[in-house]
Amino acid sequence: MNFLELKPLTAKQLTAAVELDHLCFGGLWTKSGYERELDSPNSQLLILEGRKQNPPLTTPTPNPSKEGNRSRMAGRREKDLTSSITSVPASPLLLGLGCFWSILEEAHITILAVHPDWRHQGLGQLLLYALLRNATKCQLERATLEVKPSNQAALSIYRKFGFIEAGRRRNYYQDTGEDALILWRSGLQTPEFTATLTNFYQQLQPRLAHWNLQLSF
Ligand SMILES: CC(C)(COP(=O)(O)OP(=O)(O)OC[C@H]1O[C@@H](n2cnc3c(N)ncnc32)[C@H](O)[C@@H]1OP(=O)(O)O)[C@@H](O)C(=O)NCCC(=O)NCCS
């Protein structure tokens, strides 16, 4: 994967978003659910897309037997040469999703998901970073979310950004009957949190470079 792009979901990626939702949550939101998010002014839904840049096309080798046709073919070869320096980006692959709702001064994080084949590479943290960065830009003061106590990967990410447990919802998850931990992160507008975001992004850079990933957002 050569390029990684973090950007808002559009109608173009709806089907892929629903597929990823199925893979990560077993179908949390339907297609119409995602459409509602697109229409909602209070929802920020980001996607992480990966794109592979294929090697440049090679210029066809001239055939000596046709050298006599050189002038007639000149225009054609010129066209081939033009295509030879253009590399073709493969179709983008949806790697991750993240969403929050702005409610009063709070960012309610509703979705954080990374494609199972792309986990453990820092992409979940990258998505959470982007959500929190956008929440601070929207002047929100606090962030909150619910998480299963058994979801160690998610908990580990939330703790990195200073989320702390503030309560539990008993038997919240229908699939496992687990409680939900309610986490909060306050102080989004403080210099301390700005420094947290900056430090985190700086630390992530070599990790992304190690995986040959670049960002454009
Ligand atoms: C949670 C999720 C988004 C994490 O995505 P990811 O890309 O693997 O996350 P990252 O690679 O950025 O970070 C995972 C961190 O958790 C840690 N981790 C993973 N499994 C762990 C475990 N069993 N115990 C403790 N830490 C664990 C990793 O070590 C990593 O931390 P590190 O970077 O310090 O090593 C992903 O697992 C997912 O989509 N899960 C399904 C959907 C979900 O549960 N979303 C959260 C809803 S609240």
Can 146 be counted among the known catalytic residues? yes
Compute, in angstroms, the gap from residue 59 CA to the centroid of ligand 1: 45
Q: Tell the residue nearest (CA) to atom 5 of ligand 1.
A: 124
How many angstroms separate the alpha carbon of residue 124 from the centre of ligand 1? 6
Annotated catalytic residue: which of 146, 172, 173, 201?
A: 146
Which residue has the CA at smallest separation from atom 14 of ligand 1? 153
Kindly indicate the confidence band of residue 214, based on its pLDDT and cuts at 50, 70 and 90: low
Nearest 10 degrees: Cα torsion 21, 127, 121, 10: 50
Average pLDDT, integer, range 117-138:
95
Q: 45-90: per-residue pLDDT in tens?
A: 999 998 876 665 555 555 555 444 444 444 444 434 333 444 545 7
**pTM, entire model:** 0.85
What type of residue sits at position 4? L
Domains of the chain and any CATH numbers: 3-53+90-210 (3.40.630.30)
CA 51 to ligand 1 centroid distance, Å: 22
The mean of the pLDDT values for the chain is 85
35 is catalytic: no
Q: What is the DSSP string of 193-204?
A: HHHHHHHHHHHH
Give residue-wise pLDDT tens across range 180-199.
999 999 999 999 999 999 99
Four-residue CA torsion sign, 26, 6, 152, 166:
negative
